[in-house]
Amino acid sequence: MFDCCKKEPDVKEPTKIMTAKVFIVYYSTYGHVRQLALAMKQGIDSVEGVEGVLYQCPETLPKEVLEKMHAPPKPSDPVINIDDLPKADGFAFGTPTRFGGPSAQMKAMWDATGAHWGAGALQCKPFTLFTSTASQNGGQESTMLTMLSNMVHHGMIYVPPGYITPATNFDMTEIHGGSAWGPGCLAGGDGSRQPSEKELAFAKDSGAKLAKITLKLKA
Ligand SMILES: Cc1cc2nc3c(=O)[nH]c(=O)nc-3n(C[C@H](O)[C@H](O)[C@H](O)COP(=O)(O)O)c2cc1C
């Protein structure tokens, strides 16, 4: 029976651990964008109280087309369930460049978010962007600029890296992707170039910045 006179034992206030989840939602045909996604996760996870969770965009191309493109098998990262997007406190979205813009797979995901838009379910959620191109000047900035339109309509908050990693941003000693708009890598015309240390470090820094802002906005 409940005893209203019973003195409650002194309970110490537990240390409050703020936890925030950042969904890293990417599409990658050949794995370059996924490598950047992993570096983003490293940066996000380096901030106490924040966890990065990797998700792939649903594939839209038929198997036969992927085979003709010599696409390797998909990694084991879960495919994003669009209903789950509002569960994230922040996002990092990554896509390879397709003719200077985002991939159709990434766009198809956004085209399925009408219900979230109607409910304002993604309003004020912070996000950052990352990409990969075959060539230098292949359209990294135009890809991110074009992607932005989706998030703007959802009322989300862009967290671009700006010039947080001067060693990458201003480096003229080696070719590299990435800009103030977001990390990026150069895959080469045949996809043989892998993300460099500098490109991965920039993605890591950008993930850490996003994680810190996500925590602040959640507090
Ligand atoms: C249909 C198509 C269009 C592409 N358009 C561009 C482009 O505009 N600029 C560019 O530099 N690379 C372009 N690429 C190359 C991809 O961006 C490159 O394969 C990708 O960055 C590799 O990333 P992933 O390994 O994550 O798939 C294109 C590739 C395909 C298949």
Q: Whole-angstrom Cα distance, residue 117 to residue 174?
A: 42
For 46-63, b/e burial (b = at least 16 CB within 10 A) is ebeebebbbbbbebeeee
**Cβ-Cβ contacts under 8 Å for 91 (sequence gap 6 or more):** 22, 23, 24, 25, 85, 125, 126, 127, 128, 156
Q: Is the CB of 29 under 6 A from ligand 1?
A: yes
The whole-number pLDDT of residue 5 equals 41
204 alpha carbon to ligand 1 midpoint, in Å? 22
With tokens 């990435």, the residue in question is: 178
Q: Is the CB of 186 under 6 A from ligand 1?
A: no
Q: Is the CB of 191 under 6 A from ligand 1?
A: yes
Can you say whether residue 49 is alpha, beta or left, with left for phi > 0 and alpha for psi between -120 and 50 degrees? Answer: left
CATH 1.10.8.60 fits 20-218, yes or no: no
The whole-number pLDDT of residue 4 equals 40
For 72-86, b/e burial (b = at least 16 CB within 10 A) is eeeeebeebebeebb
The whole-number pLDDT of residue 166 equals 82
Structural domain boundaries in the chain: 20-218
Q: Whole-angstrom Cα distance, residue 104 to residue 102?
A: 7
The whole-number pLDDT of residue 17 equals 73
**Whether 47 contacts 208, CB under 8 Å:** yes
The whole-number pLDDT of residue 162 equals 96
Residue 79 one-letter amino acid: V
Q: Whole-angstrom Cα distance, residue 34 to residue 133?
A: 13
How far, in Å, are 151, 198, 207 from residue 214 at the CA level?
16, 24, 10
The whole-number pLDDT of residue 14 equals 56
Q: Whole-angstrom Cα distance, residue 202 to residue 184?
A: 8
pLDDT, tens digit only, all 219 positions of the chain: 434 444 444 555 556 576 999 999 999 999 999 999 999 999 999 999 999 999 999 999 999 999 999 999 999 999 999 999 999 999 999 999 999 999 999 999 999 999 999 999 999 999 999 999 999 999 999 999 999 999 999 999 999 999 998 877 888 999 999 999 999 999 999 999 999 999 999 999 999 999 999 999 998
155 alpha carbon to ligand 1 midpoint, in Å? 28
